[in-house]
Amino acid sequence: MDRVTARSPGEPEFHQATHEVIESIWPVMDRHPEFRDANILDRIVEPERVIMFRVPWVDDRGNVQVNRGFRIEMNSAIGPYKGGLRFHPSVNLGVLKFLAFEQVFKNALTTLPMGGAKGGSDFDPKGRSDGEVMRFCQSFMSELYRHLGDRTDIPAGDIGVGAREIGFLFGQYKKLANEFSGILTGKGLEWGGSLIRPESTGYGIIYFAEEMLKTRDDSILGKTCLVSGSGNVAQYAVENILRLGGKAVTLSDSSGFIYDGDGISHEKLAWVKELKDVRRGRIAEYADQFSAEYYPDQRPWAVEGAECAFPSATQNELSGEDAKQLLANGVYVIAEGANMPSDPEAVQQFVDNKILFGPGKAANAGGVATSGLEMAQNAGFTNWTRDEVDQRLLMIMVNIHRSCQEAAEHYGTPGNYVNGANIAGFIKVADAMLDQGVV
């Protein structure tokens, strides 16, 4: 850790993510001297390649704007670089390195052949017209395209990058490369996308929670759930909670959260999708529309009467204090939809209290797994049905749950999904790196 912090100063999120993994895998290093001999640890925390570039574009008033673009190609030991793009003003090198690092282990857990990467920009799409977003995406891709390829690096969406942005990015790639190939996932259904990819991350975290509950002969049926965020992941988490007979009572955005004691129904959820994906409004409007409660500048973790929580907005949105509150209120199932939403103190409390805690790199892996299924369909020039993709997603989540469980047990911490996910992901990548020599 000293070497990581000295070599990458000022990247707190990256230090946080690496620290957690290094702690979990220490017993693995003790049992595998060959990993030490090959210095796998120092190699795995160093990105294989970092691309940083200027993204100039012209706004609607004719002013020239400049943003910064990034792609972190972290590790390609088990497959081509794979991971999303994030457009948000908080994006910087350290944030994307943490996300790329997590992605390496997450992708390994899916069992599909995908290495780890992440990219994005400090561009803020909020308040920007479709034309501005298009021009920004075109400028971003004008540099990124030379680094992509369906066997090289395949980005997808993340915060601020959804169907609209993927469309603009794909169009520009196709124009520059003069080639129609699957260099992005999350594509539109008419041009190479997969059914269920939009739903997959949200659906997957609820499937993962259901697997954790099964270990205690329990299920989501009849449970009350707190969900944060109101974007792609949160929306489809709510949809799957409904499908499995649970009740979601909260949603949030960066301005505050809503509480709906009657539960968020399919009809209300359809309204939220329109609000967020089409009108791009604030979640506060939900409270007016459906006579629900709105709490500005707060997160939903103090709400009473719930058994489950699904943080699905952003990193470090759930603190040690929030964790105390959740535990005191009787929440005993948590699956992370976002990447690293619980801070280290919160994670520690969940683990110490032996609740069912599914860390992001396991619980939210359904999104990238279904990206892998989209790549498989593209490679085979075929399309699978909705049910077929959903069934495969379910099986992948069941398998991820099982490998986390087995790794945690094998290394003496049964029920600890944090250790399980880190260890199972790490061993697969470390073995591949060992086989391939010092490259």
**Is 83 an interacting residue with respect to ligand NDP (CB under 6 A)?**
no
**Is 94 an interacting residue with respect to ligand 2IT (CB under 6 A)?**
no
CB of 183 to ligand NDP, least distance (A): 17
Burial of 66 (0-12, 13-18, 19+ CB in 10 A): exposed
Which of 17, 73, 80 has its CA nearest to residue 422?
A: 17
**Is 47 an interacting residue with respect to ligand 2IT (CB under 6 A)?**
no
**Is 112 an interacting residue with respect to ligand 2IT (CB under 6 A)?**
no
> Active site residue: 97, 106, 118, 223, which one?
118
Contact positions with ligand NDP (CB under 6 A) in 286-345: 312-314, 337-339
Residue 215 has φ and ψ, to the nearest 5°, of -65, -15
Length in residues, the chain: 439
Does residue 118 carry a catalytic annotation? yes
Among 67, 138, 201, 405, binds ligand NDP (CB under 6 A): 201
x/- map, 158-197, ligand 2IT, by CB under 6 A: x--------------------------x------------
Q: Which residue's Cβ has the minimum distance to ligand NDP?
A: 231
Name the binder of 313 from ligand 2IT, ligand NDP, none, CB < 5-8 A by kind: ligand NDP
Q: Which is nearer to ligand 2IT, 166 or 209 (CB)?
A: 166
Which of 359, 338, 393, 380 has its CA nearest to residue 110?
A: 393
Q: Which is nearer to ligand NDP, 142 or 339 (CB)?
A: 339
CA gap 321, 285 in Å, rounded:
28
Given the rule CB under 6 A, which residues bind ligand NDP?
A: 88, 90, 157-160, 162, 201, 229-234, 253-255, 312-314, 337-339, 364, 367
Given the rule CB under 6 A, which residues bind ligand 2IT?
A: 82-84, 103, 106, 156, 158, 185, 339, 367-368, 371
